[in-house]
Structure 1
Amino acid sequence: MLTGVLIDWGGVLTTSLSDSIARWIAADRIDGDHYREVMRELVDHAYGGGGENAVHALERGEIDGAAFERDLAARLVTLEGVPPVAEGLLTRMFAGFERVDAMYDMLRDVRKNGVKTCLLSNSWSNEYPRDGWDELFDAVVISGEVGMRKPEPRIFHHALGQIGLPGEECVFIDDIEANILAARALGIAGIHHQDANSTITELESLLRLTLRRA
């Protein structure tokens, strides 16, 4: 029987990262093709193995957001052929995130049914909207605050310890497949998030509960 839910924030409790990035690319007049090439290399490296890069350091809090912004801005180019403004780059990238109310409602129902919940998020030096989190989460694990990151096994062990449950009693919800695979390797059930409705449907089946949805 599953008695715990570990859940990501960006792209799961919010609208998709790709939507937010698309808004930022348009607003800052970024060369989108070049951006995708740069980020594919950085992110594929960060989540596919093969050594450390700036994403690892940022997500663990080993470098601050300003340092990463300077590094990323130097790699990017606008449609005018110059680097974008580095200061505030990450804030602008994530400004398009919007909360998905159906997912928040689901978490409230999960907790009302006695299931423990833990936010498990890789941070990019970003601010989180923490109002109301006391009613949503039994524990909060943010990578930059604990010096660990997904998909490292140790951050999953840390999150499980925060809610006092073994992996076999938990399910993990994330929009990045590499993180889901890492959780499953530890005996944690995984839901690869695509949209609220399909995730809630799958979670209802795993928890054997009826949960609110939009």
Structure 2
Amino acid sequence: MKRAGNACGRRRYGGVVLKGLVIDYVGVLTDSGANELYAYLLAARERGIRTALLSNAPGASDEAKRTLDPFFDALVFSGEVGVAKPEPEVYLLTVGLLDLPADSCVFVDDAAHNVRAAVAAGMAGVHHTSVGETLTELGALFSESG
């Protein structure tokens, strides 16, 4: 894996500047210490990283969507779009909503098969096992230094 910094403080992954972060809900954003992930999402958005939630849930209430809105540029629920992880179409639909190519996005999920599917669709992948490990991986992929 080749990573090189750039003037914007973002790192290159395979020669592409990473500009998008797609993250699962249950198992990642519901994990103990997830408040740190939410803080990371806000900081990432402030740095120009586009963010999306991708969940295999049937949908979410308007209240739940309002709660999630500050953290994400797009909310994708499989039950609402008619395709679910690990189908490649759902990853491509999600990055399309961010107006980004798949190879400029990172996908985070606690299910390894979903991460493998995202990588097969062209994204970088992070298998979430703990909040600390995920933040370490994201910090390496999205450099915070200038």
What TM-score, normalized by structure 2, do the two folds share? 0.81
Given the alignment, which residue of 138, 141, 144 partners 1:203?
138
Q: Which residue of 2 aligns with 1:39?
A: none
Q: Which residue of 1 is the match for residue 36 of structure 2?
A: 102
SS in 2 for 1:114: coil
Q: Does 1:14 align with 2:30?
A: yes
Q: Name stretches of at least 5 consecutive residues in structure 2 with no aligned partner.
A: 1-16
Which protein has the bigger helix share? 1
1:163 aligns with 2:98: yes
How big is the shift at 1:133? 2.3
Question: Alignment length, in residue pairs?
Answer: 128
Change (3 A) 1:5 1:121: same
After TM superposition, where is structure 1 displaced by more than 6 Å over at least 4 residues in a row?
Answer: none
* SS of residue matched to 2:29: coil
Contact 2:20 2:104 in 1 (8 A): yes
What RMSD in Å do the two structures reach over aligned CA positions? 1.8
The 1:136/1:181 distance shift into structure 2, 3 A limit, reads same
The SS at the match of 1:129 is helix
Counterpart position of 2:76: 141
Cα distance between partner residues in 1 of 2:101 and 2:144: 20
2:122 to 187, 190, 201: 187
Structure-2 change in CA distance of 1:115 and 1:124 (3 Å): same
Gap regions ≥5 residues in structure 1: 16-97
Q: 1:110 and 1:159 mapped to 2: Cα distance?
A: 17
Contact 2:58/2:77 (<8 A) preserved: no
The structure having more radius of gyration, on CA atoms, is 1
